[in-house]
Amino acid sequence: MKVLIVTEKPFAKIAVDGIRKEIEAAGFELALLEKYTEKAQVLEAVKDAQALIVRSDKVDKEVFDAAPELKIVVRAGAGYDNVDLEAATAHGVCVMNTPGQNANAVAELAIGLMIMAVRSFFDGKAGSELKGKKLGIHAYGNVGRNVARIAKGLGMEIYAYDAFCPKEVMEAEGVRPVATAEELYSTCNVVSLHIPSTPETKNSIDYELVERMPKNGLLVNTARKEVVNEADLIRLMEDRPDLKYVTDIMPAHHEEFVSTFPGRYFSTPKKMGAQTAEANINAGIAAARQIVAFFKEGCERFRVNK
């Protein structure tokens, strides 16, 4: 049984060691394809793999076609928009994620980006503080909840909008639920995005929505670049010189943001939210255990395709 890790952005070594331990203890073999530069390398590597562990690596129809022995793909992380679920199902492959395992890492980065932005990107000028500001959490899932927990310690007033999360859950955690996304943006000084990328959410963060933010509003994106309508955001930031945008997912129009909005925009060069040893260990080992349980016990907990 060959389990293959395919990571363009590798896990920390300590996480790979932990994954290896789990896989070898089950009597399986572990292979690695890290820092690949060509898709051809992926297509070659998957030829004889029965299981795949990936991060944001693209697993599309071509990959499934090249992997006749494949039975399971585990996305070591939360968002699985990089995996073609229809192609997986057509090939009889089970797809899973590891929800929650890297959530604290992403939440800490979101808070770090907020602090950097309100402190004027550390340019020496007086900035402002997060204490007492209203924070809007757009989607109250694993990452959103962690952001709320940390923001509470900073003394922020926390609001959240999530069409799928009962308001009692938010209230029990000291978070004020709002009924619509519009209300969240109208209310909050800082909005942090934690929605998945789906056909419904793509481009949903648009001019009309972000325009509602009060003066000096800050939009923080550690979710996916696709959820933001970039053309709208550029137009809005031109119309509203008080707004700032910080993101962990470099926009397609990065150069334009950099040149048009000096002092109001920042992007990490590579998605860094889940890049901690702890998150790599948690998500990587969870992925390994889910693969072992799938083959040994037929366990399909965390399956995301039908």
Q: Are 15 and 288 in contact (CB under 8 A)?
A: no
Q: Which of 2, 52, 56, 108 binds ligand 3PG (CB under 6 A)?
A: 56
In the block, tokens 């896989």 appear at: 23
Residues 245-274 that bind ligand 3PG (CB under 6 A): 271, 273-274
Binding mask 203-242 for ligand 3PG (x = CB under 6 A): ----------------------------------------
Which one of the spans 74-82, 122-130, 178-186, 206-214 is the region binding ligand 3PG (CB under 6 A)?
74-82
187 or 275, CB closer to ligand 3PG?
Answer: 275
**Is there binding between residue 144 and ligand 3PG (CB under 6 A)?**
no
In angstroms, what is the minimal distance from the CB of 108 to ligand 3PG?
13
Tokens read off for 98: 């590891």
Residue 220's φ and ψ, nearest 5 degrees, are -120, 125
- C-alpha distances (whole Å) from 164 to each of 35, 139, 177, 204, 301 are 37, 8, 12, 17, 20
In angstroms, what is the minimal distance from the CB of 150 to ligand 3PG?
17
Secondary structure (H, E, C), 17-69: HHHHHHHHHCCCEEEEEECCCCHHHHHHHHHHCCEEEECCCCECHHHHHCCCC
Which one of the spans 60-68, 76-84, 120-128, 211-219 is the region binding ligand 3PG (CB under 6 A)?
76-84
113 or 130, CB closer to ligand 3PG?
Answer: 113
Beta bridge partners of residue 59, listed in sequence order: 83
221: left (phi over 0), alpha (psi -120 to 50) or beta: beta
118 or 249, CB closer to ligand 3PG?
Answer: 249
Distance, in Å, from the CA atom of 141 to the CA atom of 165, rounded to the nearest integer, reads 8
Judged by the rule CB under 6 A, the positions of this chain that interact with ligand 3PG are: 9, 55-56, 77-79, 102, 271, 273-274
